[in-house]
Structures are given as C-alpha cells and as structure tokens.
Chains A and B, each alone.
Chain A
Amino acid sequence: MSDTLLVSTRKGLFTVLRDGTRWDIAKADFLGDNVTLTVMDPRDGRRYAALDHGHFGVKLHRSTATGWEEIATPAYPEKPAGLEENDMWGRPLPWSTVRIWALTPGGTEEPGTIWCGTLPGGLFKSTDHGESWSLVRALWDHPKRPQWMGGGADLPGLHSVCVDPRNSRHVSIAVSTGGVWHTADGGETWSQRGEGMRADHVPPELTHDPIAQDVHCLVQCQAAPERMWVQHHNGIFVSSDAGRSFTEIPSAGPSTFGFPVAVHPEEPDTAWFVPEIKDEKRIPCDGRLVVTRTRDGGKSFEVLTRGLPDRHAYDVVYRHALALDPAGERLAFGSTTGGLWVSENQGDAWTCVTHTLPPVYAVRFG
C-alpha cells in the first residue's frame, strides 16, 4: 500500500506522508504556483507535475534525485495557414496548450511512454519520459473531432486516458465534451465508443449521440479491463465491454452527479463516487460531504459518512481529486475548499488530514 499522497492545489504541490498511522503534510513544492495535476510513474518512480502559470502559460516538471526540472511542455504544431476552426463560441480554436488535464504512464513494456491530455482537446504522447511530445494527429485530425465542445471549461478537454493492461496499444480516452474514444494500435487510428450514455442538456436528436456525451471521468479495472466506469454529467454509467456500450445506473445514494470515480483494481464491481447536487448547484446534498460505494456493479450503493463533515460542507471534489491506492484499500480525496481526507479501509471511515489547503485540483498516490 502506498504511504504517499501527491496533492496538487491552486497554490502548490503538497506531499502528504503516512507516519505510523498518521498522515501529515511533509513537503510543499512550487509554493504559490498553480499545480493542476501531479502523477507518479509506477514504472520508475518519477513524478510529473503540470503547472499553469497563467500569464506565462502551462509548464511541465519532472522529479529528479534532488528536486524538480522543467521539461518540454506538449505544444501544438503550426496551425495550417488559412484553416478556420472556431470553438463553440465562434472564437478561433487555439492550437495551443491551454491546460494539461491528463497525465497517464503507458504500459509496463513501454518504459518512457507518457500520455498527456489537454485543453483544447489534443492528446500528446511522449516516448522519452517527457523529454519531447508529439500530438496524436490521428485523433486531432479525426473528421469528427471539431464536434467536440466545452464542458467544464470553454474548450474541449481530454481528461481521462486508460491504457489497457492486457495490451498497451489499446488506449481509451474521454473528453468533456466528446465522449469516449478508443485506439487499438497505439494511437494510429481512433474510433468513437460509448453507446448507451445519455445527455439531457442537448436537443433530443443528440441525446444518445456518443459524441455529445459529457464524460467527467473514465476509469478501467486493472484485473478486468472490460469493466469501465464513467462519472458523467448526467449520472453514472458502467460498461462490461471495454467502453463499447454503457448502462446507466439510475440511483446512487443522494445523487448520481459528480466528477470523480475510482474503481477497485481487482474487483470490477466495486467503485467509489463523490456525489453533488446536479449541476446548477454543484455542492454536497444537504451540506453533507459523503462518498458512495458500490460492491455489486451499481445495483446498490452504500453512503459512506464516518469521519466526513455532516453539516454545512460545501466541498466540491474535482475529477482527479479522488484517489485509490494500487492495493485497493486506501482512498483519499481533496476538495475545492482545501479539505483532504484519507480512508484506510475502502471508505468505511475517514480521517481529515487538513482543511486548510488551497483549492485541491488533484490527489494521487505517489
């Protein structure tokens, strides 16, 4: 089990360590800077941190033996002269990295491969530990990609990358909004997946169109990769055929709305969510911050409350801010109001590590 948490916040990266039975902040990096996502590559232990300096743009850093070094930021190629491409608001779509929204190590047999999802929707691949990046042109140039729209942000955002543990060339991604896409050849060709999801914020003609789906988060079970879970703008969906089709879960405790989802690495029917009041409010239901857990593939849900605030809690937990350790026992999540909670027992009970962090964007075990 992992004893380390990487907590990315609006004002820095906080490393939280377990000392005996107690979790505490051990280190602050990039203090004052906006750290949007930090991940650890389990193949070599290196950490990758995405920063957004606002005026100075998005930057990427990689851990060294003694600290951090800035490495190449995924950059879009030159926009073809004369190409007119507007976003959903009629403004020119920037061919420029606006945000890094996904960092996912490749498979075990391809050390050095890292996938990076961005706003405005480009997927990048590095094969040299982030020294250089290439835009995955087959996805960016896909004739249907211009139909992607903004979801949580003005621009389309590619936030989830799932590398199939059986075959690293099989990669599924999810876009807000743009649905689920899949490659079976390492990114050379792409096809839309995600039949069965439902969007009720679009006209009826588009409600069941896979490209219109606002997937908030997509995860894949490591031991049973055919099982995928989606937290969607419209609710919770589960797939038993690697994302080709999904079934809606009609109810899940106080709400089926939320942003993150975590699936147990060995038990495909076990998954966790953090429900919020949909979507015009986006706060916990009745001021009670809870986690929901299913152990039976979504047929039923437990509402996990022990140790979590039960009144006047207005924490929002973003899509990358709920983490499950590789052993599937420890959970952690951070909130927009600076709270960080850890569970040692799959969510049965929670301990508040701190409630005074800056807004938390991402929590990952490291």
Chain B
Amino acid sequence: MPRVIFTQNIQRHVACPETMVAGSTVREALEAVFSENPQARGYVLDDQGALRRHMAVFVDGILVRDRTTLAEPVAPASTIHVFQALSGG
C-alpha cells in the first residue's frame, strides 16, 4: 500500500499522521486519506477538488504536475509526499 506523508506545517491546523492507504493513483490515495480525515481535505484540495495552488505533491520524489485530475499512478511501494511549495507565502 502506498505511504502518504504530510508536511509538518499542516499538523498544527489538522493532524495528518503518516499513513498507508489503498490506491493506484494519487487521487485514490488522497481520497482514501480524506475519507478517514475529512477536515484535511480543504487544507490540501480546493473547492473543485484540485490541488491547492501552493501545495505540491511528490510521488517517489517526482513532482506531480497534473494538479487537477491527480491521476498520476502510484505503486504499492510508492511514497506520496504532500508538501507546501515555497511560493505562496
């Protein structure tokens, strides 16, 4: 199962512990996280479900560039990092 790790900075707003979830795409993996932790959704995704403008998601160290569909495939051994971009204050 893919591992999902959230930026430390989000933790003071909403607890997002490292977790292992089912999913074969970034979207599926994140949705699995948010189904257990619905408050976290709005911190990572905008109202339309796209990645917030200054958030950055990496799969095994590679930046995800399709920020709308989040259809990037993830392997069972993948690690997804949900980080902040340096842009955006």
Contacts and interface: CB of A to CB of B under 8 A. Distances in A.
Given A70-B39, A76-B47, A78-B48, A55 B13 contact: no
A73 B42 contact: yes
Given A70-B39, A73-B42, A55 B47 contact: no
A199 to B, nearest CB: 30
Given A55-B85, A59-B42, A97 B10 contact: no
A57 interface: yes
A97 B47 CA distance: 7
Contacts of A78: 48
B54 interface: yes
Interface in A91-127: 94-97
Interface in A25-58: 53-57
Interface residues of A, number: 16
A56 B52 contact: yes
A55 B48 contact: no
A94 B51 CA distance: 13
A83 to B, nearest CB: 11
Interface in B34-74: 39, 42-44, 46-48, 52, 54-55
A56 B44 CA distance: 6
A57 B48 contact: no
Contacts of A73: 42
A212 B72 CA distance: 43
B1 to A, nearest CB: 26
B13 A53 contact: yes
Interface string A125-168: 00000000000000000000000000000000000000000000
A79 interface: yes
Interface of A is mostly: loop
Interface residues of B, number: 17
Contact of B47 (A53, A54, A59, A95): A95
A353 interface: no
A54 B88 CA distance: 6
Contact of B10 (A56, A76, A94, A95): A56
B10 A57 contact: no
Contacts of B43: 53, 56-57
Contact of B88 (A55, A79, A96, A97): A55
Nearest to B52: A57
A75 interface: yes
A76 B48 contact: yes
A76 B42 CA distance: 12
Contacts of A54: 54, 88-89
A36 to B, nearest CB: 13
Nearest to A75: B47
Contacts of A59: 13, 42
B10 to A, nearest CB: 6
A53 B52 CA distance: 11
A55 B52 contact: yes
Interface in B3-53: 9-10, 13, 39, 42-44, 46-48, 52
Contact of B48 (A53, A56, A70, A95): A95
Contacts of A94: 46-48
A79 B52 contact: no
Nearest to A97: B47
A94 B46 CA distance: 9
Between A53, A55, A57, A96, the greatest number of chain B beta carbons within 10 A of the residue's beta carbon is seen for A55
Interface of A: 53-57, 59, 70, 73, 75-76, 78-79, 94-97
Given A55-B85, A56-B52, A57-B46, 14 more contacts: A53-B13, A53-B43, A54-B54, A55-B9, A55-B88, A55-B89, A57-B43, A73-B42, A94-B46, A95-B47, A95-B48, A96-B47, A96-B48, A97-B47
22 contacts: A53-B43, A54-B54, A54-B88, A55-B9, A55-B52, A55-B54, A55-B89, A56-B10, A56-B44, A56-B52, A56-B55, A57-B43, A57-B46, A59-B42, A70-B39, A73-B42, A75-B42, A75-B47, A76-B47, A79-B48, A95-B47, A96-B47
